[in-house]
């Protein structure tokens, strides 16, 4: 240890030194000394130096006097006390012995790094910062590209940042005594960043543990952290270490260094249209993230940079503090009970709903106008906004990604937030009543105060059932939430929902425009987003089952679709796949599923063929699939929907072609009874409980089981009719797949039905 313990090199410290060097510096030291993670060299000015600075300048009494009895809910009180303390700190001098040690270590840093007169990053590291139960979310300051002559002033600025309005407010709210928190300062060689960003070793929105989320943009990482830019985003699936989703961010601006100064620059348009890092960089970062998480034994929030020579460095690593501390035995779900006029959309954070009067504030100087319970609408936030963020019923920002300041703080506060809501400050007016719905990935802002409810579901100690309980998942963004349920897998993932929400164009139209790769990418990533959260639980993906009128509704679809009187029993399912007109599109679907299974490693995907009328159709479909690398039997199971009477009465022959069946009870009911299910008069009179339908189901299960084929059902009837569940269990059905909101209820009904009489 150096004299008086004022300065320690990173390689001299570790995670046991938080009280001395703060969470941030302790973590850097830990990575340097205990792992092979590349971290820029540096040293820490310890908390002892901070107390020495306060004592030598007689600042302790001044601070105590200003903070005595402070109301942390009052912006004016915070401003008055904070300003007085910060001014006193900046006027004070750094003691000579401390200043000499700092400058001496900076000189040695030149030798360690091989850089003459190195520029450094000066980062605050609070002694209570980045602990498992608290995230200070950038409350203390960081100063980049700092020269030797500005170093001492930057250290004082860090000390002063311990008493910003938001830092005083946060400590008060969390119950931290202001004198139980000290400040260490990290001095670290600057990385000349070509690109940089943030990485979470879980999904920061849903808390899904098997994902790594990486945000990346050009230049220094401050713009990603502060939400100035919408960055690129990559999702990596941990069990296979494959990229399962890429989102191109707008990346309009970047912070870079020129002539030793931080310069704000516009990103050239051709660079904005490219990803800021390559796939190999993404995977290297993910590997570092896994190593760091393994070392700390918990999910981590990590900042990184890639230099101009292509080398990647880890700049910070701290525990993730939101999802790691939640009770996993209770699922909370917000449900909007009425619809309103949609004003805007964006990226949702927090999976909640909030409503109130909008307060549009374009500059932090206007936060005094904000009243508790209002909806904050602004361009972006930084730590200076936190005193009012905690009072908001919801937050809306025009910029930022899922790892920006607004996103991180709103998650911690439990406040619903929509980021990247373009032109929000112009579209929404102060005084306007609005509702912010963050229950889906696409956040929605509605006009008016809409009704909503909160459901709480306890999932602990649920009974085990012999019958598998699956869920139906449509939109990919729903899968992570559904995966938390006590279910055995996905019984129905509809490809058409993925095409509608991700692809949005007719596949033949895209083929004509020579955009097959785009179709493959979007469909394979959509399928992967559904399958990954459930891995290794089985996920049955049904190939597209659009009717001709639905296909015509896709962009470019009218050119390729016939006008049918009754599309429900028209050109759909297997008959479409083997038709020469549509076959090229079906082959693309096969290639997309092969990519999800083979390239992304999601072997839990099973495939299901809908509306297969005849044995010949089934054989021809399987032949095309085999030609595209989807061969049944080679670690791949292929199922058929059982929704046509021919599937029931030829179940023995279909069992030779397929590995199992999933009963589509809606279609089976209408085709067994000759009902148009869209006819309101008739549809109210008949349902799956009709004797003819029940006999069909019983026959299918008995026949399929003779051939050791599994049978499930994926309609709504089991969740609607308890007596129908009892019938299915008595028939020996293998699985029941329902919508996620009734999965727990259905599991309990099945458990009761399975109990011996």
Q: Which residues of 631-659 are buried (b: 16+ CB within 10 A; e: fewer)?
A: eeeeebbbbbbbbbebbbebbeebbebbb
Contact 225, 404 (CB under 8 A): yes
Query: Phi then psi for 290, rounded to 5 degrees?
Result: -65, -40
Name the token pair of 300: 């981590």
| Segment holding 473, helix H or strand E | strand 468-473
Whether omega for the bond prior to residue 536 falls within 30 degrees of 0, making it cis, is yes
Edge-to-edge strand order for the sheet containing 42-45? Answer: 7-9, 42-45, 183-189, 120-126, 142-146
* Dihedral sign, Cα of residue 33, residue 294, residue 401, residue 25: negative
**Residues 656, 403: Cα–Cα separation, whole Å:** 50
Strands 353-360 and 442-447: unpaired
**Residues 605, 608: Cα–Cα separation, whole Å:** 10
> What dihedral angle (degrees, nearest 10) is formed by the CA atoms of 305, 310, 311, 313?
10
Contact 6, 46 (CB under 8 A): yes
Cβ neighbours around 26 below 10 Å, total: 27
In the DSSP assignment, the letter for residue 268 is P
With 0-12 / 13-18 / 19 or more C-beta atoms within 10 angstroms meaning exposed / middle / buried, residue 423 is exposed
Q: Which positions are annotated as active-site residues?
A: 405, 714
Cβ neighbours around 272 below 10 Å, total: 19
Name the token pair of 218: 């050009």
Query: What are the start-end ranges of the E strands in 201-273?
Result: 211-218, 232-237, 242-247, 253-258, 261-266
Query: Phi then psi for 303, rounded to 5 degrees?
Result: -105, 145
Q: Token match 């038709």: residue? A: 579
């Amino acid at each position: 240890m150096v004299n008086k313990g004022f300065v320690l090199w990173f390689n001299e410290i570790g995670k046991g030194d938080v009280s001395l060097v703060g969470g941030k510096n302790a973590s850097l030291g830990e990575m340097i000394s205990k792992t092979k993670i590349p971290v820029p060299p540096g040293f820490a000015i310890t908390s002892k130096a901070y107390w020495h600075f306060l004592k030598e300048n007689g600042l302790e009494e001044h601070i105590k006097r200003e903070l005595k009895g402070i109301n942390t809910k009052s912006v004016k009180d915070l401003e008055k006390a904070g300003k007085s303390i910060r001014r006193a700190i900046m006027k004070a001098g750094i003691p000579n012995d401390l200043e000499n040690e700092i400058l001496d270590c900076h000189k040695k840093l030149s030798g360690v790094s091989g850089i003459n007169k190195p520029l450094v990053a000066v980062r605050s590291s609070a002694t209570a910062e980045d602990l498992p139960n608290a995230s200070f979310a950038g409350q203390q300051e960081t100063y980049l590209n700092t020269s030797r002559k500005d170093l001492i002033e930057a250290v004082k600025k860090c000390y002063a940042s311990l008493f910003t309005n938001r830092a005083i407010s946060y400590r008060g709210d969390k119950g931290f005594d202001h004198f139980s928190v000290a400040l260490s300062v990290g001095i670290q060689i600057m990385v000349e960043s070509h690109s940089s960003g943030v990485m979470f070793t879980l999904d920061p929105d849903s808390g899904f543990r098997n994902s790594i989320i990486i945000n990346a943009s050009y230049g220094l990482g401050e713009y990603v952290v502060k939400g100035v830019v919408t960055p690129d985003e990559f999702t990596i699936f941990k069990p296979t270490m494959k990229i399962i989703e890429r989102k191109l961010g707008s990346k309009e601006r970047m912070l870079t260094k020129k002539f030793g100064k931080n310069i704000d620059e516009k990103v050239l348009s051709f660079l904005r249209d490219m990803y800021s890092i390559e796939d190999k960089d993404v995977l290297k970062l993910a590997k570092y993230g896994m190593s760091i998480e393994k070392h700390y034994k918990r999910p981590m929030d990590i900042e990184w940079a890639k230099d101009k020579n292509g080398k990647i460095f880890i700049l910070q690593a701290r525990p993730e503090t939101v999802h790691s501390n939640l009770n996993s035995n209770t699922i909370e779900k917000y449900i909007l009970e009425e619809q309103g006029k949609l004003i805007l959309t964006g990226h949702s954070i927090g999976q909640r709903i909030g409503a109130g009067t909008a307060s549009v504030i374009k500059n932090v100087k206007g936060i005094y106008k904000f009243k508790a319970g209002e909806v904050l609408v602004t361009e972006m936030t930084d730590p200076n906004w936190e005193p009012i963020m905690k009072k908001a019923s919801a937050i809306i920002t025009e910029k930022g990604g899922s790892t920006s300041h607004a996103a991180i703080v709103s998650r911690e506060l439990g406040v619903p937030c929509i980021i990247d809501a373009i032109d929000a400050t112009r579209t929404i007016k102060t005084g306007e009543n609005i509702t912010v719905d963050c229950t889906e990935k696409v956040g929605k802002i509605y006009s008016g105060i809409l009704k909503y409810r909160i459901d709480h579901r306890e999932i602990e100690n649920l009974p085990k059932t012999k019958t598998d309980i699956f869920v139906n998942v449509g939109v990919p963004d729903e899968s992570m939430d559904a995966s938390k349920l006590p279910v055995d897998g996905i019984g129905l993932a509809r490809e058409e929902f993925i095409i509608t929400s991700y692809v949005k164009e007719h596949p033949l139209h895209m083929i004509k425009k020579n955009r097959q790769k785009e179709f493959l990418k979007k469909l394979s990533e959509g399928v992967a987003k559904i399958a990954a959260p459930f891995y290794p639980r089985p996920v049955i993906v049904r190939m597209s089952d659009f009717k001709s009128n639905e296909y015509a509704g896709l962009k470019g679809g009218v050119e390729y679709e016939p006008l049918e009187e009754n599309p429900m029993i028209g050109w759909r399912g297997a008959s479409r796949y083997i038709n020469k007109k549509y076959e090229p599109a079906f082959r693309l679907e096969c290639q997309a599923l092969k990519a999800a299974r083979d390239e992304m490693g999601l072997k839990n995907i099973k495939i299901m063929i809908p509306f297969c009328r005849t044995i010949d159709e089934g054989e021809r479909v399987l032949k095309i699939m085999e030609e595209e690398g989807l061969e049944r039997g080679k670690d791949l199971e292929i199922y058929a929907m059982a929704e046509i009477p021919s599937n029931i009465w030829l179940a023995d022959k279909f069992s030779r072609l397929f590995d199992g069946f999933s009963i589509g009870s809606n279609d089976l009911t209408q085709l067994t009874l000759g009902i148009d299910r869209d006819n309101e008069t008739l549809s109210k009179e008949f349902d799956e409980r009709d004797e003819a339908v029940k006999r069909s189901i019983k026959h299918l299960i008995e026949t399929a089981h003779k051939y050791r084929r599994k049978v499930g059902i994926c309609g709504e009837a089991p969740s609607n009719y308890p007596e129908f569940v009892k019938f299915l269990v008595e028939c020996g059905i293998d699985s029941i797949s329902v919508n996620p909101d009734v999965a727990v209820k259905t599991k309990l009904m099945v458990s009761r039905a399975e109990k011996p009489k």
